[in-house]
Structure 1
C-alpha cells in the first residue's frame, strides 16, 4: 500500500486494519512515521499530533492500557428500552423545552 500519499491518520487506520489487533500508541505512531516517510523535526511533536488526530477520528477506539484499535472491532451496545421509557423521555424533553421558552420570553420582556 502506498502510505506516502495519504495522511498519517489514514495510514494508522490501514496499519491497524492489517494487524487486526489493538496496538500501543507509540508503536503504531512509529510505524505510521516510517510508512509515510514524512520528515519529522521532533518525535514528541509528531506523536502528539498523530495521537490527537486519532483521538478526534471516530474510526479509532481507545482500548485501554495505551492501546488503540478500530471502532469497527467493538460490538455495538445493546440498548434495552420500552415504549414507556421512550414516551417518558419525550415528555421530559417537551417539558424542558416549554420551560426554556418561558425563560426566554421572560428575559425578552
Structure 2
C-alpha cells in the first residue's frame, strides 16, 4: 500500500487495524514514520508530532500503560434508563432530592 500521500493518522489507523491489538505508542509512531518514508531531521520532534496527531484524533483510544488502540474496538457506554413507570418515578424523586441537597450546600 502507498503511504506517502496519506496522513500520519490514517497510516496509524491502518497499522492498528491490521494488527487488531493495541500497540505501545513509540512502536506505533516509529512504524508510521517508517511507512511514510518521510525524511526526519529530529526523531524526537517527529515522534512528538505524530503522537500529538494520534492523541487529537477521536478514532484512537488510549488503553493505558502507553498503549493506543482504536475507539471502534471499545463498545459505546450504555446509559441506563428507567423502563418502568415506577422506576421513572423513583428516578425523578432522586433527582429532586439531589437538587434540594445541592441548593442546601450552595446556600451555606
Considering the TM-score relative to the shorter chain, is it more than 0.5? yes
Say whether 1:7 aligns with 2:7. yes
Q: Which runs of 5+ in 2 are unaligned?
A: 83-87, 100-108
Say whether 1:69 aligns with 2:69. yes
Alignment of 1:38-53 (within 5 A): 38-53=38-53
Match of 1:28 in 2: 28
Tell me how far 1:78 sits from its aligned partner: 1.7
Q: SS of the counterpart of 1:18?
A: helix
Q: CA separation in 2, counterparts of 1:25 and 1:57?
A: 14
Q: CA separation in 2, counterparts of 1:69 and 1:2?
A: 22
Q: CA separation in 2, counterparts of 1:68 and 1:75?
A: 16
Match of 2:106 in 1: none
Q: SS of the counterpart of 1:69?
A: strand
Aligned pairs, number: 90
Tell me how far 1:81 sits from its aligned partner: 2.1
Say whether 1:60 aligns with 2:82. no
Q: CA separation in 1, counterparts of 2:58 and 2:8?
A: 15
Q: SS of the counterpart of 2:4?
A: helix
Q: CA separation in 1, counterparts of 2:74 and 2:43?
A: 30
Match of 2:37 in 1: 37
Q: CA separation in 2, counterparts of 1:17 and 1:33?
A: 17
Indicate the RMSD between aligned Cα atoms, in angstroms.
Answer: 2.0
TM-score (ref. length: structure 2): 0.75
TM-score (ref. length: structure 1): 0.75
